[in-house]
Amino acid sequence: MTDIRYHDLPDGRRIAFRLAEPSPDNARPTLVFLPGYMSDMAGGKATALFDHCAGTGRGCLLMDYSGCGQSSGDFADGTLGRWRDEVLALIDAHVAGPVLVVGSSMGGWLMLMVGMALGQRLAGLVGIASAPDFTDWDRSGEDKETLGRGETVFDPNPYGPEPTPMHPGFFADGQDNLLLGSPIPVTCPVRLLHGQADADVPWETSLRLADALESRDVVVTLVKGGDHRLSREEDIARLIAIVEDAA
């Protein structure tokens, strides 16, 4: 991770990113990877995709949202809208031409918001255990009341010793950006990958997303026995093949 660079935003935020420039003879859309909630660009899927792109001459952009990884800021200030704008700022500054957006878990919600904002530059979407609207379907009524009062809710963390926080700002912004209840105006090719043993995001969420998308070119791949992370060797190989097929 020694090739990390920083993009400075007007308000002082420093966004860490890695960029593989496309080779001169490679005209394929640049891949932009969006990690999940409290994740960063050092994860296995992000690194594998970056290495694959770099090895094949394809452009690839990885980044850490503000408050995550090596970017500046406080995670408690993070929202979908704030992170969407950071993604778009990096794309505008560092990527030329069409873009293939790949989103993991929460990144699968963010990829839809980014994709809608990209317009004609959007060449395709690939969602991995996509979790749009999880502030709604993954929260109890009691949690929603707590968050609505401006209090943070802490959840058990299966991946580490510290509980996972959901802050009221993120919750409110998520509720303002719910997508599954109406048609999603995305018409590019979309590929959705989901493990059927996912204990965090029900695999049926990808089917709901497929139904909501206006695109006529949507393929859902369900992996029997696959967990939420889908980071096994065979999962990574499948993901790379799906990315190559998408755009």
Helix H or strand E segment including 32: strand 30-34
Active site residue 105: yes
Task: Report the alpha-carbon distance of residue 64 to residue 33 in Å, rounded.
Answer: 10
Active site residue 198: yes
Phi, psi torsion values for 97, nearest 5 degrees: 80, -165
* Active-site position among 40, 173, 228, 235: 228
* Active-site position among 104, 198, 206, 235: 198
Task: Report the alpha-carbon distance of residue 49 to residue 32 in Å, rounded.
Answer: 10
Active site residue 227: no
Evaluate whether 58 touches 33 at the Cβ level (below 8 Å): no
What is the separation of C-alpha 45 from the centre of its chain, rounded to a whole number of angstroms?
11
What is the number of H-type helices and E-type strands within the chain? 8, 10
* Active-site position among 105, 133, 173, 194: 105
| Residues taking part in catalysis | 105, 198, 228
